[in-house]
Structure 1
Amino acid sequence: MKKKYLNITLIVLLIIIWSSVFYKYFGGNKSSIKSNEAISSTINYKQKYAIAKDTFQLSLIDRDPFGISSRMIKTPIAKKTVNKPKVTAKTIQKNIVWPNITYHGFVKGENETTRLILLKIDKILFRKREKEIVNDITLVKAYNDSLIVSLNNNKKTIKKQ
């Protein structure tokens, strides 16, 4: 029963508020606004003050206002020659023979921060963590579908088998 009385009270309050909004907007005493406009337009205002403009003429200054040019003597600046280093030809990289590497995925433990990588290098199974070195091969980063390895600063991406 309480909900019913509360709903009725709120509906009545809503109707009162909206009716006052419609009354202010559509109804009301609009003749008073027109009479105020007529009264305000009939009064003539006169200016009680006059604005006096002060005019003057600016003249050009012939001397240096800071006096810097009289104290400083300009000396000619000699051009500096810059020796550019000669571009050396890049060293030809030797063809690196990569061993046969297959990636089988990784396991991440609850307490471990790095992943345990499962991979085969030349048919030997290894379980190593990221950034460890196996047979001169550094395990850089393991992803779900690939592994990035590095051999003599050359990186290679190996897809998951």
Structure 2
Amino acid sequence: MKNKKTTYILLVVVLFVWAMVIYQFFSFSGGSEPIVENHTTLNIKPIQAPKRDTFSINVNYRDPFLGKMYNPHNKKATRKQNTSNKPKETIVWPSVIYKGLVSDSDDKRKVFMVMIKGKTFFMREKDTEEEVKLLKGNREFIEVKYKGKKNKILIQE
């Protein structure tokens, strides 16, 4: 008889919980109340960060293990590089656009569709068009060389 009594009590508790869940669900879905928007202006003040205090460590002290004073590296080994006043030559790359792989990817010699300065070229690896040399490539990108500088170009569709 005791089992039936607890079963009935648990049944009532379960029904009460489900009734609350259903009530909560339907009470949120009824959007008959108007939504009021509050437009408030926020005044944002920048935070003043404190200036950091810098310090340096003096490492000119006796080595506790060797008993010798600290000796910086030999300054003879550092050389000044030849800095000439020649302006470095800036290279202006032509517009190079990689359109895709034309041949099968299984072929040993792949053919790539490349647009250089608005002209379309079908190039293979190590071909040169408009002073642009195609070094290597795959479906996602090609690597080209122009006046000694290499560049990696992604596919554009």
User: What TM-score, normalized to structure 2?
Assistant: 0.43
Greater helix content: 1
Which of these two proteins has the greater Rg computed from alpha carbons? 1
TM-score, normalised to structure 1, is 0.42
